[in-house]
Amino acid sequence: MSNEIWVIADMKMDGSIRKVSFEALSEAKRSMQSKIGGPLCAVLMGSGVADKAEALGKYGAEKVYVVDNAHLKDFNPDGYVKALSELVAKHQPHIVLAGNTSFTEDYIPRVAARTGSGLAMEAIDMGLTDDNRLTVKRYSHSSKAISEIEFKAGNTMMATIRPNTYKEEESPVSPEVINEQVDISDADIKVKVVNLETKMSDRPELTEAERVVAGGRGLGSEENFKYIYDLADVLSAAAGATRAAVDAGYCPYDMQVGQTGKAVSPTLYFAVAISGAVQHFSGMGTSKVIVSINKDPETPIFAKSDYAICGDLFEVLPVLSEELKKALAE
């Protein structure tokens, strides 16, 4: 086994690299690389992606393994499993990290099974034992407890990390680009991508946004979510929601923040008509500034907020949106 640490670059539909990949590189450099003593590497898979290597070097990747293959142009688990499995078997990295996204949740467990690697999903904290075995903490029991996993020695150790758990930190280097050839044939691809449809929005992506405005079941209806969208647009923010609001049909599932939704860590988080259940807080609790609006003075979210506004949201939000418009215009 080598002493290399790998981070898998997770790509967006537009071909850019997700922020969670830079978070993983930054944390590996901060807390693992000096102890293990090997190079920090990235793995870039796709079609026409070689030009993204420099972006990974900006966050400390000294080597970038590139698998550029036409069969990897559109995401499919079969091609990605074969490509990454062959790379892991060939180079036997010490640790492989990836962001916990819908894509990696699909193919990383299959790679671990093929290569005999240990795997922990959705890490919220990572460390190393004295003999450089990976330890991972992750939420369990509806985020009411945290379990700790300690890997055995001998095989590659793999983990996915919860997005927005770590801070990305630039540490620029000029990476060595290593082009890897993986033979992927039509017969290897059992899942055929027939069509890709991207939901277009003028708002930033929820997991990448610096500002988020989220609403809860207290809004009362799908129509009332326009108050959330209006404030989000004033702040150039993403719009989010609690599971209760999503289950009630007030907004689509892709807006859900929390344990069973998306994890966010913006600079500013507005929690509107949200009680602050632990399942929701686990997905946004690392926000730098939390502003809550609720008519219940005893709501738990107030104790976790930097600023709390006790009042009727239908009276507060229109005034707040107008005042923010004026302030931002100035």
The pLDDT tens digits of the residues spanning 20-79 come to 999 999 999 999 999 999 999 999 999 999 899 999 999 999 999 999 999 998 888 999
Listed residues 154, 188, 222: the one ending a domain: 188
Indicate if 147 and 14 belong to the same structural domain. yes
What phi, psi does 46 have (nearest 5°)?
160, -160
Indicate if 214 and 166 belong to the same structural domain. no
Residue 65 inside a domain? The answer is: yes
Give the span between the Cα atoms of 117 and 155, in whole angstroms. 6
Indicate if 166 and 234 belong to the same structural domain. no
pLDDT at site 142:
65
What would the mean pLDDT of 138-149 be, rounded to a whole number?
Answer: 82
Listed residues 188, 223, 241: the one ending a domain: 188
Overall number of domains in the chain: 2
Residue 95 inside a domain? The answer is: yes
Q: What percent of the chain has pLDDT over 90?
A: 74
CATH number of the domain where residue 146 is located: 3.40.50.620
CATH number of the domain where residue 210 is located: 3.40.50.1220
* Closest to 282 measured CA to CA, from 105, 147, 162, 168: 162
Indicate if 36 and 97 belong to the same structural domain. yes
pLDDT at site 204:
86
Give the span between the Cα atoms of 239 and 205, in whole angstroms. 9
H helices of the chain, in order, are: 19-31, 33-36, 53-57, 77-91, 102-115, 226-234, 243-247, 278-284, 313-329
Averaged pLDDT score across all residues of the chain: 92
Residues in Cβ contact with 220 at an 8 Å cutoff, skipping those fewer than 6 apart: none
Q: Tell me how far apart the terminal alpha carbons of the chain are, to the nearest angstrom.
A: 59
Residue 201 inside a domain? The answer is: no
CA distances (Å), origin 237, targets 58, 207, 229, 234, 272:
26, 11, 9, 8, 14
**Host domain of residue 92:** 5-188
Give the span between the Cα atoms of 32 and 126, in whole angstroms. 9
Q: Are strands 118-123 and 157-161 parallel, antiparallel or unpaired?
A: parallel
Q: Sheet holding 125-128: strands in order across?
A: 125-128, 134-140, 145-150
pLDDT tens profile 239-255: 999 999 999 999 999 99
Q: Which two tokens stand for residue 171?
A: 């540490």
Buried b (16+ CB within 10 A) or exposed e, 113-136: eebebbbbbbbbbbebeeebbbbb
Lowest-confidence region among 18-32, 49-63, 218-232, 256-270? 256-270
Indicate if 244 and 159 belong to the same structural domain. no
